[in-house]
Structure 1
Amino acid sequence: MKAVRGTPKHLSQNGELTGFTYLMLNLDYSCNYNCLKCFNQGESTPSYQKIELLSLKERIELIKQAKTLGGKAVVIAGEGEPSIHRDIKALVGGINSQGMIPIIYTNGALVTKELAEFYKKNNATIIISLDSLNPEKYDLMTGTKGQLQIVLRNIEQIREVYKNTAKKVKGLTILSLALNTTVSEINYKELEKIKDFCGEDIYFICNPLAKLGSAQETWKVLMKDKTPEDFAELISKMSESGGPLMLGKNMMCNYQTNGIAVSPWGHYMICAYTNLTNDLLGTIKDKTLGEAYKYKQKIEAEHTKKYGKANCFIRADSFTKYISTLKELI
């Protein structure tokens, strides 16, 4: 059996986490892609002054606070493409120096061999987004032209750099490379082929599409007459985690149940993949990381008791009610 370094299956043999585990640290938006599914673009994207962006010093301080709280991993999932951010090396090095696991999400197009070697040296887990092995479909979904072959070449370079990083721990093979596919009507027939491409050295995850960000406007292109529920059984079967990567024993995403995100401007967020909670959970100016995490946990516990569990909070039908509750509390 396989698991990804930094996930509940790796950090706890039974997949059950307790207490604060994950800081999701979003960087200011910069991306070489224009994806139809992007969480961080679209009409609902908030606009703030550039001068309000967090500094490297403030982000390093958040990393230190996460360590003090018992954090095990710091996740850099966006906004945009983390690998081109000016401070990515300083942040990854800072996370590793605190004894935590850097988890980096990337489209893979700009991860050079040199950068992959840096990530490996700093014990980073790399999660690569790949939604198709068909060049035309890839171009359509990413808003690029001719990028697929570059990405596939880079994945092979990353594989070579990471080839000796797998470790055996109590019957589990712990991998530091994963590939994530967001399932739509465009690519659902490719899942088996993409999973085969992953082989034994890359962990395969697939997720349902979320109607957030750009996907609100591109939904018909991505889904046609399908719904995410139409692909639920297929995702459960094909994804090595049974669904989202961070599913824990509680069958909920542990980024949400055991973590908190921070926006590029210092807003606390329920998850790195939605800006809809910006301004609703406080900021680093008025709450410490620990205070914000406790506040978020209290509200979410009440919400889950009322509306039930969801393996992905922001994809759940009740998410709009959660937003309404937050607005009533401010």
Structure 2
Amino acid sequence: MKKIVKLAGIDLSKEEMYSKKLLRAGIKLNTPPVCNWACPYCYASSPELQKNLKEEDYIRYKDANWHLKMFKWVKELKKVGLKAITINGMFEPLTSPKLKEVINFVYEENLAITLVTNGVLLTDELIEFLKSKKVSILTKLNVPIVEKDSPLYNDVIEIQKQMTGLKGNAEKIYEDQKNMIKKLIVGLLLAISTISCAKIFWPIRN
């Protein structure tokens, strides 16, 4: 039976894809308790969290060996048919110093990898590393991708700015995220953008 590819790094037959459940587990990376976005619907945007952060919080980790415990659990799950891993974090996973070590481990275990990230910290070097490990990227854009000549453009960029909680120029915030997603697509990584609220806001505004 012909093989079909649904995600980067995962290659299943139609029979496997449709007659069996894909066993997927998650690895939550140990990250500093702060995010580079402040999405209004997320606990990471809490004013109390931001106010109480101390400098040492950015480099302190509750359990330095957390990833090693995760590795043990992954090996146990492989015995019962684990095929895929989703990597995320309590906060932005790209801030974890163990990111590459975890991805290398999962790759060597021959498991499909999906990385959940807002993508802001992705560099060209890191993208090439992720591509070499066949990592799929699950990222987010709260609004559709539109060009500057679209009549919706001004609304789009303002909504995106509000939903990221970032300060600064709305156009730059939107264009940076849009270009990052386009770069991932061109780089043959699967970039999935999720639309959270745009279709609700526009009818209300209009």
> What is the TM-score normalised by the length of structure 1?
0.45
Does structure 1 conserve the Cα–Cα contact (< 8 Å) formed by 2:5 and 2:12? no
Is 1:35 aligned to 2:70, yes or no?
no
Q: Find 1:159's aligned residue among 174, 181, 185.
A: 185
Q: How far, CA to CA, are the matches of 2:201 and 2:83 in structure 1? A: 34
Does structure 2 conserve the Cα–Cα contact (< 8 Å) formed by 1:96 and 1:102? yes
Compute the displacement of 1:93 (Å): 0.8
Q: Find 1:110's aligned residue among 104, 108, 121.
A: 121
Partner residue in 2 for 1:214: none
Structure whose residues are more often helix by fraction: 2
Aligned partner of 2:184: which letter?
I
Q: Residues 40-88 of structure 1, C-alpha deviation per residue, up to 9 Å, x if partnerless?
A: 6669x9xxx9535652322222232232332111101332221221111
Residue aligned with 2:42, SS:
coil
RMSD across aligned positions (CA): 3.3
Residue aligned with 1:148, SS:
helix
Alignment of 1:43-54 (within 5 A): 50-52=61-63
Residue aligned with 1:25, SS:
strand
Identity among equivalent positions (%) equals 23
Aligned partner of 1:84: which letter?
T
Change (3 A) 1:84 1:23: same
Aligned partner of 1:142: which letter?
T
Compute the displacement of 1:34 (Å): 0.8
Does structure 2 conserve the Cα–Cα contact (< 8 Å) formed by 1:113 and 1:158? no
Q: Find 1:76's aligned residue among 72, 87, 90.
A: 87
Partner residue in 2 for 1:26: 28
Compute the displacement of 1:15 (Å): 3.0
Gaps of 5+ in 1: 163-175, 192-223, 225-330
Residue aligned with 1:89, SS:
helix
Change (3 A) 1:190 1:123: farther
Q: How far, CA to CA, are the matches of 1:97 and 1:107 in structure 2? A: 25
Change (3 A) 1:39 1:53: farther
Does structure 2 conserve the Cα–Cα contact (< 8 Å) formed by 1:4 and 1:178? no
Q: Find 1:128's aligned residue among 131, 134, 139.
A: 139
Residue aligned with 1:77, SS:
strand
Partner residue in 1 for 2:104: 93
Q: How far, CA to CA, are the matches of 2:5 and 2:104 in structure 1? A: 26
Change (3 A) 1:52 1:77: closer
Is 1:17 aligned to 2:20, yes or no?
yes
Residue aligned with 1:86, SS:
coil
Residue aligned with 1:26, SS:
strand
Gaps of 5+ in 2: 50-59, 146-155
Change (3 A) 1:104 1:114: same
Q: How far, CA to CA, are the matches of 1:110 and 1:16 in structure 2? A: 38
> What is the TM-score normalised by the length of structure 2?
0.68
Farther-moved stretch of structure 1 (139-148 vs 28-37): 28-37
Compute the displacement of 1:113 (Å): 1.3
Aligned partner of 1:17: which letter?
K
Partner residue in 2 for 1:247: none
Alignment of 1:234-313 (within 5 A): none
Compute the displacement of 1:6 (Å): 6.8
Q: Residues 27-47 of structure 1, C-alpha deviation per residue, up to 9 Å, x if partnerless?
A: 23442111122266669x9xx
Partner residue in 2 for 1:55: 66
Change (3 A) 1:182 1:6: farther
Q: How far, CA to CA, are the matches of 1:23 and 1:95 in structure 2? A: 11
Residue aligned with 2:192, SS:
strand
Residue aligned with 1:90, SS:
helix
